[in-house]
Amino acid sequence: MVDLADLAVRVAGLRIRNPTMLAAGVLGLSAHTLRRAYEAGAGAVVSKSIGPEPREGFRTPILVELGCGLLNAVGLSNPGARAFREEVKALRGAGVPLIVSVFGFRPEDYASVASVLVEAGALAVELNCSCPHVSGVREIGSRPDLVGAVVKAVKEVVDVPVLVKLSPNVSDIVSIGLAAERAGADGVVAINTVRALAIDIEFRRPVLSASIGGLSGPAIKPIAVRAVYELYQALDVPIIGCGGIMGWRDAVEFLLAGASAIQIGSAIYYRGLGVFQDIVAGISRYMEEHGYARVEDVVGDAHRKG
């Protein structure tokens, strides 16, 4: 049987007990809910995206369940960096490995938020340059020069790992990943949600108040796996896979494609927090059955077998 110690991984300088993480935007606004996810089995947790000032977000409806996944346009609602640092301090005191997701509309916004939250105790920073439904953030993730500027601004003010969450809503995700790497990013997260639309045929208007939202869940998994596969071929920094991971088979697919760890979001809506332990147990069984001693041995093996 694979020992639990063999499931520990090092991602971009951050060592975590297993390769699963809570994805940004899910249960991520309080120390209590983030701690619950960690206690349920996540290797690390990622906060909801935090900005420089409090933001209300969009009016309801902000979420709709579709047959293929979840469509949301929350609008980056958050309490702001100064208020959220108290949650970060509480998690640091509880020993919970926290990655803070941050956003802004200029490079200096990202830098200021990251600085506040790292000082409070965050172990790493995830840069949300790719929210698909908020103008001003969405555009950053589609331009290599802006992604690079954001990474450089943040790297100048923090001394913890910096990850960039990449958008699938671009013509060439590899070029964006390379721009992040060249600017000094310690890793990338692929992918954010896919821009999508649902229309109520009775009211004859978009279901979400913001009209266009971000699609997550099973429908986007093949897109995310393809992105991870392509990024692994081009980048030297680690990749964290995200998008449609509902069970351990999905997680293993991401690892084989080149992800060093994976993030879980929509699966919690469908399956609850027990999904973390189920996925970790499934990865462990797969490793034993296929002769892998460490998670790192699984990572990228589809390229070596191809």
- Cα dihedral value 228, 231, 236, 238, nearest 10: -20
- Our answer to whether residue 68 is catalytic in this structure is no
CA 169 – CA 138 distance, rounded (Å): 9
**51 vs 152: CA distance, rounded Å:** 18
Bridge partners of 50, per DSSP, are 102
| Cα 251 from Cα 244, distance rounded (Å) | 9
CA 115, CA 110: separation in Å to the nearest integer?
9
Paired with 72 in beta bridges are 63, 214
Burial 39-70 (b: 16+ CB within 10 A, else e): ebbbbbbbbbbbbbeebeebeebbeeeeeebb
CB atoms within 10 A of CB 181: 20
Single out the catalytic residue among 68, 129, 131, 242.
Answer: 131
Task: Calculate the alpha carbon distances from 169 to 129, 215, 251 in Å.
Answer: 12, 11, 22
Kindly list the catalytic residues.
Answer: 131
